[in-house]
Structure 1
Amino acid sequence: MSNVEEIELPPDPERVIVGLRDTGYEFNTAVADIVDNSIAANATHVQLWLVADLRGDIRLMIADNGDGMNRDGLINAMQYGSKARPSAASLGKYGLGLKTASTAFCKKLSVISRPDGNTPALMATWDLYHVAKVNKWSLLLNEECDPEALENLDLVAPGHAGTVVLWEDVDRLLKEYQDPAGAPARKALKSREDALREHLSMVYQRFLDPDDERARNVIMELNGKPVVAWDPFQSKLSELVADEPIETELSDNRSAAFRVRAFILPRREEFPDEKAAAAAKLSNDRQGIYIYRENRLIHDADWLGLYQKEPHLTGLRIEFSFDHKLDDAFHLDIKKSQIILNDDLANWLQGEFLPAPRREANRRYREGQQKVISKKGEGAHDTSNTNIRNREAAAGGPKVNIADPNTGEAVVENRHGTTRLKLTITSAKRPGEVFVQPVEGINNGLLFQPALIEGHKGVQVNTSHPYYQKVYVPNLNRSVTMQGLDSLMWALAVAELSTVQDHTASLFRDMRFEVSRVLEKLVETLPEPDVDKDVA
């Protein structure tokens, strides 16, 4: 039997603490990781300050009136891989977030805390320069706290326990500017502030909304201004189209629950006013699954690899909520910003839950899009109709007369003789619209069909057909392109009437069907039109 030697091999302090700066944190995610600690400490008030001094040196302070920490608690909190919190439901999970999130952007992290209103605050600091100098995991403890941080602690938690997290030597937030205190650098910092405010308002929506009973209320401020809750589902205006609370059994025989809800938001023009529409942040990027762990958003606006984002699903947003019991099942990452679905859950979402809401969102989008296209497309074919009117005599064609307006039968006289056939007989919807007429839908999904419009040989073009949606719509404001497309449609219709015979009428119908089918296939990979953008 061989002898096994046991060797304690601590990692090199400088290499590890510097290496952990590159864990992939984004700034907003990093700040939220620290706010998680405030909420886990039962804070009801959190103040954030992101400021730069006259030299351009940036400081971030996050102060709360949470439980606070004594000396031992503070040392534990600053340890990499700190001991787990008593509650498994805590937003803080791995004991790494405070340190790795902070040093991803700064080289000096301090935490100032007190366990009650009578005990003086104590400051603990990880200084990466100091760790490199002494080459030890050397945490600095100081009874003399940063004055500004202490002042903020007294403001947010007067005579109360509380904590302040302080970032100094912030070197990875902004790019290097020739003048760190100049206008461009300050503008960039303000942009970071605005993005952080938006992120916090979404991530902690359930805590920030006093009317949301799922989470306790927390007041949050950034640079002196309130952070207001933003509801991605706009639940007071949208429609809940699916709601599934699910009980599941884990591999260790414990039971756990999660809930999935599907909301369809109104189209922009269906909101009560522009302010409400703007608040909904309607865009293709906002569709998808929003994942909440313990009422905190951890991942947003993504289909988790199940689908691609598509414009006709812009209004569909899915809420997926679970508690800490499902952490292992979802492989929650260190930043609590991503989950990996197991196969059973992915199959359930894709095969059972999501198809119906996706179909309904698609249907509503198409209906709304049709209304917008019809409205914005009014007059788009006028130039084509004028041009064809001027060239109708030169183009020639058969004589077409109404035989029976009740049955839609017409008599066509062309060079092959006289043919009696059913033909769409209609009137103009707009003055002069007697050659090319856009219509919402044609039987069998045809792209076009010959018609007799107020006695003129014309063509009806189906605005619901994918070819119209993807080829016509982006060009509704381009006169020459519209004339080219419309002239082709009209020419095909007149050519059919010029050559049709009794025994070929069904063949021409089949040809129109095949042309429509082939064109639908050919435009499948073309981008969906953004009606609000493409049709100004």
Structure 2
Amino acid sequence: MNNVQEIELPPDPERVIVGLRDTGYEFNTAVADIVDNSIAANATNIRLQLGIDLKGNIRLLIADNGDRMDRQGLINAMQYGSKARSNLASLGKYGLGLKTASTAFCTRLSVISRPNAITSPLMATWDLYHVADAKKWALLLNEICDDEAVELMNKVAPGQAGTVVLWENVDRLIKDYSDPAGKPARKALQTKENSLRHHLALVYQRFLDLDDNRAPNIIIELNDEPVAPWDPFQRGLSELVAEEKVTTRLSDGREAQFIIRAFILPRREEFPDDALAAAALLSNERQGIYIYRENRLIHDADWLGLYQKEPHLSLLRIEFSFDHKLDDAFHLDIKKSQIILNDDIATWLSHEFLTSPRREANRRSREGQQKEISKRGEGAHDNSNNNIRNREAVAGGPKVNITDLSAGEAEVENKHGKTRLRLTITSAKRSGEVFVQPVDGIKNGLLFQPAIIEQHKAVQLNTSHPYYHKVYIPNLNRSVTMQGLDSLMWALTVAELSTVQDNTAAIFQDMRYEVSRILEKLVETLPEPNMGSDNGD
């Protein structure tokens, strides 16, 4: 008979508590995990103080006026894997966030709590060095609380229940400096503060926005300055182009719903003013799917592996909102920072829902881009036209006579004889622009084509072609480079007219198509030009 023994085998306290420091938290994500606990406790006022003293010691305090927490409640909150909240929709999910998020950056974590106005606050502390020395899960309880924490609690929750989370011995926030309290260290901490402010503004936008009724309103202050909500979708300015409310059946038979919306933001020049455009952060990095769980942003600006980010989709932002019922279905992690889409939803998103919004965002972006290219390219080919005019006679070429202007027909006379061709016959858009003319689009997407402009042999360049965008645009202010590029294109068209015959005209057209196609492929990996700079670089 096999005897099965049951052995209680608790983990080594030091190994585990120190090992949990390396769960991969980023600073902003860690702080947000603590703010989640405040919101889960129904706090309406949350204040954060991040500072450095004269010795270079960094401290972070997060105070709130949330629900009462007596001695036992405080001990439970400090337990690793604390008891589950009765409200499954709570932003605090696994009972680990407070501890693991905090000790990822500090070696001493305290929570100071006051259950009511007449009871003195109590402080519970995890000191990682004390745990290592005691060799047991030794939580420290103290009725003598940190003075700064109590002072902040009194400001946030005067005469009522309040809680403060305190980080001390912060050793993983900024790098070590020779002068830990010097200007470089303070500047690095200021950078962290600025990043945290934007993160809180984005993650809790629905809670901070008084006009948004999807979430209860709260006030968050960071170093005595209110955190203003930041809406990545810029409602009121953007256009809602698609919306779906999808009901799905879970493995246990329950039904759950998620909401997905697609917004297209205005182009920069379409914003009412520059300040609003700057606030919208119209960068390539901000496009993608923004995922909300219980109205709290958990993952942003990412296509979840469905697509790569590309400049022509920088105006497209997708809102994906779900509640706690879908936590398991979406494999929500401990940090509540990402989800994994199942195959059915991923396929539906990429092949159905996102198809039309992506196409429309691409169209609007390219339309605006073409306007900017036309504006910036005005006059960029003047030197080329002047140079070719001065050298036209030396370059030579065939005689070209217009035979039917309305039909766009011309007769080309070269060393092989006379050939009738259908050519683009037009006039100059700008004075002197009779040899090289930029145009917005050429049939079949060609990069260039022969033309007759005011009786001169000319080339038209397609400003919509990727080659023009990635090679010409960065060099608009470089005269010699522009003349070199334009001279090559003009020479190719004159060479075509100089050698074309009736039986080779179609071959030359095919060659232009193949050259245009090959160049499009070759420039795919070239960087997108910065349309905001003077020279496009």
Question: What TM-score, normalized by structure 1, do the two folds share?
Answer: 0.98
**Aligned partner of 1:507: which letter?**
I
Q: What is the aligned partner in structure 2 of residue 88 from structure 1?
A: 88
Q: What is the aligned partner in structure 2 of residue 408 from structure 1?
A: 408
The answer for unaligned runs of 5 or more in structure 1 is: none
CA distance in 2, matches of 1:493, 1:133: 83
**Aligned partner of 1:459: which letter?**
V
Q: What is the aligned partner in structure 2 of residue 482 from structure 1?
A: 482
The answer for unaligned runs of 5 or more in structure 2 is: none
CA distance in 2, matches of 1:366, 1:215: 37
CA distance in 2, matches of 1:507, 1:174: 65
**Cα drift, residue 176 of structure 1:** 0.8
**Cα drift, residue 451 of structure 1:** 0.8
Contact map agreement 1:33 1:97 (CA 8 A) in 2: yes
The runs of at least 4 consecutive aligned structure 1 residues that moved more than 6 Å come to: none
**Cα drift, residue 411 of structure 1:** 2.2
Contact map agreement 1:313 1:362 (CA 8 A) in 2: yes
Q: What is the aligned partner in structure 2 of residue 535 from structure 1?
A: 536
CA distance in 2, matches of 1:483, 1:457: 17
CA distance in 2, matches of 1:13, 1:424: 81
Confirm or deny that 1:139 pairs with 2:167: no
- Post-superposition Cα deviations, 1:378-426, rounded to whole Å, max 9, x if no partner, equal 1111111111111101000112122222221222222222222221111
Deviates more, 1:300-309 or 1:413-422: 413-422
Q: What is the aligned partner in structure 2 of residue 23 from structure 1?
A: 23
Confirm or deny that 1:525 pairs with 2:533: no
Q: What is the aligned partner in structure 2 of residue 52 from structure 1?
A: 52
Confirm or deny that 1:71 pairs with 2:81: no
CA distance in 1, matches of 2:518, 2:176: 55
3-state SS of paired residue (1:503): coil
**Cα drift, residue 500 of structure 1:** 2.1
How many residue pairs get aligned? The number is 536
3-state SS of paired residue (1:521): helix
**Cα drift, residue 72 of structure 1:** 0.7
Deviates more, 1:500-509 or 1:75-84: 500-509
- Post-superposition Cα deviations, 1:67-104, rounded to whole Å, max 9, x if no partner, equal 03001100000000000011000000000000000111
**Aligned partner of 2:369: which letter?**
Q
3-state SS of paired residue (2:378): coil
Q: What is the aligned partner in structure 1 of residue 468 from structure 2?
A: 468
Deviates more, 1:339-348 or 1:514-523: 514-523
CA distance in 2, matches of 1:46, 1:520: 54
CA distance in 1, matches of 2:181, 2:386: 62
CA RMSD of aligned residues (A): 1.2
Deviates more, 1:321-330 or 1:465-474: 465-474
**Aligned partner of 2:411: which letter?**
V
Q: What is the aligned partner in structure 1 of residue 325 from structure 2?
A: 325
**Cα drift, residue 353 of structure 1:** 1.1
**Cα drift, residue 455 of structure 1:** 1.2
What pairs up with 1:173-212 in 2 under 5 angstroms?
173-212=173-212
**Aligned partner of 1:249: which letter?**
R
CA distance in 2, matches of 1:62, 1:393: 79
What pairs up with 1:276-425 in 2 under 5 angstroms?
276-425=276-425
CA distance in 2, matches of 1:416, 1:256: 75
CA distance in 2, matches of 1:472, 1:486: 10
**Cα drift, residue 355 of structure 1:** 1.6
**Aligned partner of 2:283: which letter?**
S
**Cα drift, residue 15 of structure 1:** 1.2
- Post-superposition Cα deviations, 1:198-227, rounded to whole Å, max 9, x if no partner, equal 110000000000001100110110000000
**Aligned partner of 1:526: which letter?**
L
What pairs up with 1:251-270 in 2 under 5 angstroms?
251-270=251-270
3-state SS of paired residue (1:108): strand
3-state SS of paired residue (1:206): helix
Q: What is the aligned partner in structure 2 of residue 61 from structure 1?
A: 61
CA distance in 2, matches of 1:11, 1:70: 28
CA distance in 1, matches of 2:501, 2:176: 77
What pairs up with 1:240-259 in 2 under 5 angstroms?
240-259=240-259
**Cα drift, residue 497 of structure 1:** 1.4
Q: What is the aligned partner in structure 2 of residue 108 from structure 1?
A: 108
Contact map agreement 1:439 1:460 (CA 8 A) in 2: yes
**Cα drift, residue 526 of structure 1:** 2.9
- Post-superposition Cα deviations, 1:223-262, rounded to whole Å, max 9, x if no partner, equal 0000000000111111111111111110000110101111
3-state SS of paired residue (1:531): coil
Contact map agreement 1:376 1:535 (CA 8 A) in 2: no
**Cα drift, residue 147 of structure 1:** 1.1
**Aligned partner of 1:110: which letter?**
S
Q: What is the aligned partner in structure 2 of residue 458 from structure 1?
A: 458
Q: What is the aligned partner in structure 2 of residue 40 from structure 1?
A: 40
**Cα drift, residue 483 of structure 1:** 1.3
**Aligned partner of 2:452: which letter?**
L
Q: What is the aligned partner in structure 2 of residue 12 from structure 1?
A: 12
Deviates more, 1:417-426 or 1:37-46: 417-426
**Cα drift, residue 527 of structure 1:** 3.2
**Cα drift, residue 505 of structure 1:** 2.4
Question: What TM-score, normalized by structure 2, do the two folds share?
Answer: 0.98
Contact map agreement 1:39 1:66 (CA 8 A) in 2: yes
CA distance in 2, matches of 1:506, 1:427: 25
CA distance in 2, matches of 1:406, 1:56: 81
**Cα drift, residue 118 of structure 1:** 2.4
CA distance in 1, matches of 2:507, 2:136: 87
CA distance in 2, matches of 1:219, 1:290: 22
**Aligned partner of 2:241: which letter?**
V
**Aligned partner of 1:161: which letter?**
A
Contact map agreement 1:256 1:325 (CA 8 A) in 2: yes
**Aligned partner of 1:421: which letter?**
L
Contact map agreement 1:311 1:530 (CA 8 A) in 2: no
Contact map agreement 1:68 1:162 (CA 8 A) in 2: yes
Contact map agreement 1:268 1:277 (CA 8 A) in 2: yes
- Post-superposition Cα deviations, 1:116-166, rounded to whole Å, max 9, x if no partner, equal 222221111111121111111111111121111111111100111111001
**Aligned partner of 2:269: which letter?**
E
Q: What is the aligned partner in structure 1 of residue 164 from structure 2?
A: 164
3-state SS of paired residue (2:113): strand
Q: What is the aligned partner in structure 1 of residue 429 from structure 2?
A: 429
**Cα drift, residue 438 of structure 1:** 0.4
Confirm or deny that 1:494 pairs with 2:494: yes
**Aligned partner of 2:115: which letter?**
P
